[in-house]
Structure 1
Amino acid sequence: MDKEKMEELKIQFQQLLNEAQEFVHKIPPTQLYAAIGVVVFTIFFFLIIRLFKRRSSNTILLTGLSGSGKTVLFYQLRDGSSHQGTVTSMEPNEGVFILNSETSKKGKIKPVHIVDVPGHSRLRPKLDEFLPQAAGIVFVVDAVEFLPNVRAASEYLYDILTKASVVKKKIPLLILCNKVDKVTAHTKDFIRRQLEKEIDKLRTSRTALSSADIANEYTLGVPGEAFVFSQCHNKVTVAEASGLTSDISQLEQFIREYVKA
């Protein structure tokens, strides 16, 4: 583009700018302010919508100790298949699908991203990879073998509840007491009380550590009071299920509460 055309464009642009300024000066101040207000509100409104959509997630994490039945629950949610015995996973099982119980429903149903995180202690750091996108966490507990594992389960649960990514986002957590079809299974109320007692002991011992050791953790509970899950920064609920008998309605209810169909 030569200099003459550049000069011509500059002149035209200046004329348009002058005309725009004259037009704005002719508008009464009240109307001008109102128009500016509408524009600002519209921009703000669309930014909020975009932010909300960006933060909405369809990811649900299944976690807990090894042998608690997480992988069986994963397959029950996905296709309703029944796995006999223990199904051990050393790598995360994940999939995006419509819940098996909803496949017969008409209309558009939002699929869910389910991640079954291995419960082995060396593989638990994999949970951190998925937490930023989690809409909810399901902590699975073996209701039959609960008492021998109550300390280990409480330590793992404590670690989850004090993670900054969980606390800041207030990720809801469901403690799912699995295998309740067994005669020797403990009730969800018993399991809840025992976990609260163990976590109360843990927070006493862990808060005695140096600040450097707990730099990445949040504290749990209210000082001077016995710990209960209602004191947590995020919502914690307790429910029951049986993966082997396909009794997972309370689990599905939790999922659909936080991943709208």
Structure 2
Amino acid sequence: MQLESSLFYKVPSLLENKFTLAIFSTCFCLFLLIFIWVLYVKRHYSPVRTKILIVGRSGEDEYPGSGKSTLYHVLRTGKAPKFQSVTSMVPNEGTFIPRGSKTLKESNFVDFPGNERLKTELEEQVLHAKVVIYVLDLSRFETELRKEAISFYNILKLLKKRNWKIIPVLIFCNKVDLCENFDRDRVRRLLGEEILKYQRELGPSGGEDSILATNIDALFSCSQYVVFFESGSAAQGVIEPVIHFLERI
């Protein structure tokens, strides 16, 4: 008790010493900087990523969306929803084991809206994703190729900003039951050519990061991501290619 009392009376005298105070201040500032740096690294470079992000274009006017929400529900419940989903500003999110898989572990799935006003939120989602599934509507692919190219180009730009190991990306060619004219190789070629054409048109106005690649192979495979293509129909419950893709990664 006497020792504690003596230390208590010594503290003010120590603080009165400018040299001692400077040391305490320096140590405190150094600790604070290290703490902030650890939080930054944990947020941007942590290898712990469990989120499987489902993205794609939303519906426009009378046209339905690409099928993101339908795929999400089939993965979660094994059945497509009875009613067509309405475009939302809020993500569907849940942690579950995909129906139909015997090897996958429980994962966090996010069905993210394709609304243009959610760009900032989308970047945050991509930053913390373990896998990205881009749902492409085959039934409108030919007429809306440019829109799909721009949409996926923006996803690739976000992936290029990541400082983590290579992330697998699946382009799920949905609604194959409504359009059998486009196999995976043809979709890859047409989409790749359109993205390359679009980035050339952007030119210097697109910024330094506007040019992702100069050929299709480099466009779909780089140090930040690798893009795969699979076909199916979420509304018909044909999502085995998605399950097999998730089981391989």
After TM superposition, the score normalised by the length of structure 1 is 0.68
Change (3 A) 1:174 1:204: same
SS for the counterpart of 2:193 is: helix
| 1:75 equivalenced with 2:73 (yes/no) | yes
Q: Which residue of 2 aligns with 1:163?
A: 158
* 2-structure distance, mates of 1:154, 1:141: 10
Change (3 A) 1:69 1:5: closer
* 2-structure distance, mates of 1:197, 1:176: 18
Query: Larger radius of gyration, structure 1 or 2?
Result: 1
Q: Deviations over 1:3-53 (max 9, x none)?
A: 4999xxxxxxxxxxxxxxxxxxxxxxxxxxxxxxxxxxxxxxxxxxx9xxx
* 1-structure distance, mates of 2:246, 2:240: 10
Aligned length: 204
Moved more, 142-151 or 83-92: 83-92
1:46-65 equivalences under 5 Å are 55-65=47-57
Q: Deviations over 1:195-242 (max 9, x none)?
A: 111111122122322xxx525x363114xxx33344433111111121
* 1-structure distance, mates of 2:200, 2:131: 27
Q: Deviations over 1:83-133 (max 9, x none)?
A: 35642331211100111113xx59xx6211111111232334431231222
Q: Structure 1: which 5+ residue stretches go unaligned?
A: 7-49
Q: Deviations over 1:149-204 (max 9, x none)?
A: 11111111111112266543332211110011225552222211111111111221
* 2:169 counterpart letter in structure 1: L
After TM superposition, the score normalised by the length of structure 2 is 0.71
Identity of aligned residues (%): 30
Q: Which residue of 2 aligns with 1:186?
A: 182
Q: Structure 2: which 5+ residue stretches go unaligned?
A: 7-41, 59-64
CA shift for structure 1 position 142 = 0.5
Say whether the 8 Å CA contact 2:203–2:210 is kept in structure 1: no
* 1:2 counterpart letter in structure 2: Q
| 1:241 equivalenced with 2:232 (yes/no) | yes
* 2:229 counterpart letter in structure 1: V
| 1:122 equivalenced with 2:117 (yes/no) | yes
* 1:221 counterpart letter in structure 2: A
SS for the counterpart of 1:100 is: coil
Say whether the 8 Å CA contact 2:176–2:232 is kept in structure 1: yes
* 2-structure distance, mates of 1:160, 1:208: 19
